[in-house]
Structure 1
Amino acid sequence: MNNKVIIKVLLALLFYGFFVALVVIFYDDSPDKMTWNDREAYNRQFIAKIKIDTFTFEKALSHLGSPDITEAITIDNINYQVMFYRTQHVKSDGITTQDECTFLFFINGMLKEIGLGNNYPKQWGIITHHH
């Protein structure tokens, strides 16, 4: 092969590698900066991989960002926290409601349950009425 062709191919590969490195270093792909439909898709895919009793409250904040809705209560020195992340579009009204979310339920910072947001209020009532 001609030396000029080899040099052009190597320069093109070098430029491509440099461009990829810049994107990886400087592109911020945090969930908080995504469009609402991209964030829903990201939340669904990420939450589908979470394992109960191994996922913590801190990991949720780090990987999923701030929740769309959150509630917390402490009863008998036990911390209960639920985080709602939007995972399904229901109504275009500019307001995120529980029925558009998947909830992550934590006890003392450890994930104990995952479910659809509109099923959550029953479970919260069970906790607050049994203690």
Structure 2
Amino acid sequence: MKKLLIAALLTTPFLSGCIVAVSDGEAEHSWASDYSGSGWQKHQKSNRDKITGLKNGVAYQTVLQEFDTPEFSDLVNKGDNVYQVLYFATNSKHSDGKITKDECTPLVFKNGKLVGYGASAVSEYL
């Protein structure tokens, strides 16, 4: 026990600046290191602005190139159609370093083309 305590005390200075994220299987994404301070607010406003400018039918790959990596994504096959949903952070009230799906706007793609965004689009197609 004494050796463990000494090892912990000696290695602590080397851990400064590191973020260790442990997931318990819940749907959440940690991005504290990417968007610290007020950066998360600017990032989410940028996402909202980009989403507002999207047109129906835009290609999935085009959206991926326009945005940063989505916080979450889903893929569903229904009959002959493939639905992809990308979730981008848009409406956090405060920065706790974790993003959940309810803080995101989903973009719904059918067979590689945007068919809608928001909760109503998810309920319409999935």
Judge same fold: TM > 0.5, yes or no.
yes
More strand by share: 2
Which TM-score band applies after superposition, normalised by the shorter structure?
0.5 to 0.7
With the length of structure 1 as denominator, give the TM-score of the two structures: 0.59
Q: Once superposed, what is the RMSD of the aligned Cα atoms?
A: 2.3
In structure 2, do the counterparts of structure 1 residues 120 and 95 end up closer, same or farther at CA, with 3 Å as the change threshold? Answer: farther
Which of residues 45, 48, 68 is equivalent to 2:49? 45
Structure 2, gaps ≥5 residues long: 1-33
**Could you say which structure has the larger radius of gyration?**
1
Partner of residue 104, structure 1 = 107
More helix by share: 1
8 Å contact from structure 1 (residues 103, 120) kept in 2:
no
8 Å contact from structure 1 (residues 81, 105) kept in 2:
yes
Higher relative contact order (CA 8 A, sep 6+): 2
Which of residues 66, 85, 89 is equivalent to 1:86? 89
Structure 1, gaps ≥5 residues long: 1-32
Equivalent pairs counted in the alignment come to: 90
With the length of structure 2 as denominator, give the TM-score of the two structures: 0.61
Give identity over the alignment, percent: 28
